[in-house]
Structure 1
Amino acid sequence: MKQLQLFLAFFRVGILGYGGGPSSIPLVHKEVVDHYKWMNDDEFADVLALGNTLPGPIATKMAGYIGYRVAGIVGLINATMATILPTIILMIVLLTTISSVKDYPWVQGMTAAVVPVVGVMLATLAWEFFAKSKESLGWLKSILFLVGSFLLMEVIGLHPAILIGGLLLAAIFQKDKKPEADRAVERGNAS
């Protein structure tokens, strides 16, 4: 049953993810977190961050990892194939016919209309991640990370993978900082 669910989830992502990997991310989130509940928001954010640091298309990387996590090696193959199968089929079918209709206004209009929809989908997902970061970091730190990341990537031109990798390393090597309340409880239990 899980193999069928994996296939259907990632096939839907593959067939509806018009515009490439970034437009697929909200669709993967909807399937994995909201519909099947294979992950929570934090786990999804971790997979997305790690996937963005690796080379290759994000949709297939996420499908591979999530498929492996849900159903092992067979799940990895199943989810990855379900993600790329629609593209393979559509490329063969559409490339044979699209050249004859590409100059029609309705085709150009359809293509132009997809861009704002994908933008809204990405903005919605970004807002959800930002709101979630408020819970763990607070508003001030979240805003500082947002502004700092924007400046590093857009003004200085730092590649997002380097920024994500640096943040992951900082989190790994950060000293264990427990809140004072947790330390007080530990001291109370020790005595």
Structure 2
Amino acid sequence: MKQWNLFIAFFRVGMLGYGGGPASIPLIKKEVVDKYKWMNDTEFGDLLALANTLPGPIATKLAGYIGHRVSGVIGMLNAVLATIIPTIILMIVLLSSLSSIRDVDWVEGMTAAVVPVVGVMLAVLTWQFFNKTRQGMGWTKAIMMSLIVFVLLFSLNIHPGILIAVLLATALLKRDDNMEREGGKT
């Protein structure tokens, strides 16, 4: 049953993740955290941060890790295949027929209508992550951190993977310092 649930969860993501990897993230969270409870919000947030530091498509990285966590190597293969099979099939079907109908009004309208839906899904996910940060750091630190990250990403054009790697390294070093201090006191 686990293999079937993994397949269905990631097949849904593959079918409905219109707009690429970032648009799939809220769908993956819905399946993994809310529906099947294979992870909690904190674990998913940590996995998402780590997955963003690695090269490659985010949806397949998340599917691979979550599939492996839930059901080992077979689960990993199952989840990754379930994620990419819909894309492969849709690309073959749509690309072969889309070139002939791409200028039709309803096709343009359909594409335009999906963009705000994906935007809202990403905004909701952003709010959820900000709210989690606020709960852990408080309003002032969360706002300051968000502003600093915004400036680094958009004004200074620093790659998100580099920023996440630096933040992870800083957190690890800070953790090690705290552990050394606690070890010295006892």
**TM-score of the pair, normalised by structure 2:** 0.94
Q: Larger C-alpha radius of gyration, 1 or 2? A: 1
In the TM superposition, what is the alpha-carbon distance from 1:136 to its structure 2 partner? 1.2
Alpha-carbon distance in 1 for matches of 2:72, 2:58: 19
Counterpart position of 2:48: 48
Q: How many residues align?
A: 180
Matched, 1:145 2:156: no
Q: Unpaired segments of 5 or more residues in structure 1?
A: 178-182
Runs of 5+ in structure 2 lacking a partner?
A: none
Question: 1:5 & 1:21 partners in 2: Cα distance?
Answer: 21
Amino acid across the alignment from 1:119: G
Match of 1:66 in 2: 66
Question: Structure 1 residue 162: deviation in Å?
Answer: 0.6
Find the aligned partners of 2:168 and 2:120 in 1 and give their Cα distance: 28
- Give, in angstroms, the shift of residue 135 of structure 1: 1.5
What is the distance in 2 between the residues matched to 1:94 and 1:115? Answer: 18
Aligned mates of 1:5, 1:157 — CA distance in 2: 40
Give per-residue Cα distances to partners, 1:52-92, cap 9 Å, x unaligned.
11111000000000000000000000000000000011111
What corresponds to 1:106 in structure 2?
A: 106
* SS of 1:56 mapped into structure 2: coil
Q: CA offset at residue 111 of structure 1?
A: 0.7
- Opposite residue 163 of structure 1, the aligned amino acid is L
Give the equivalent residue in structure 2 for 1:57: 57
Amino acid across the alignment from 2:92: I
Partner of 2:178: 176
Matching of residues 125-140 of structure 1 within 5 Å: 125-140=125-140
Percent of aligned pairs with the same amino acid: 62
Aligned to 1:96: 96
| Partner Cα separation in structure 2 for residue 137 and residue 4 of structure 1 | 39
Counterpart residue identity of residue 41, structure 2: D
Deviations 1:127-158 (A, max 9, x none): 01111111211111111110000000101111
**Paired position in structure 2 for 1:17:** 17
In the TM superposition, what whole-angstrom CA distance separates every residue of 1:7-45 from its partner, at most 9, and x where no partner exists? 000000000000100100000000000000000111001
- Which residue in 1 is equivalent to 2:3? 3
Q: Who is 1:159 aligned against?
A: 159
Extract structure 1 runs of 4+ deviating beyond 2 A.
none
CA RMSD of aligned residues (A): 1.4
Residue 180 of structure 1 is matched in structure 2 by none
In the alignment, the residues of structure 1 paired with residue 113 and residue 52 of structure 2 have an alpha-carbon distance, to the nearest angstrom, of 26
Provide TM-score, normalisation by structure 1.
0.91
Instruction: Give the distance between the partners of 2:142 and 2:71, measured in 1 at CA.
Output: 35
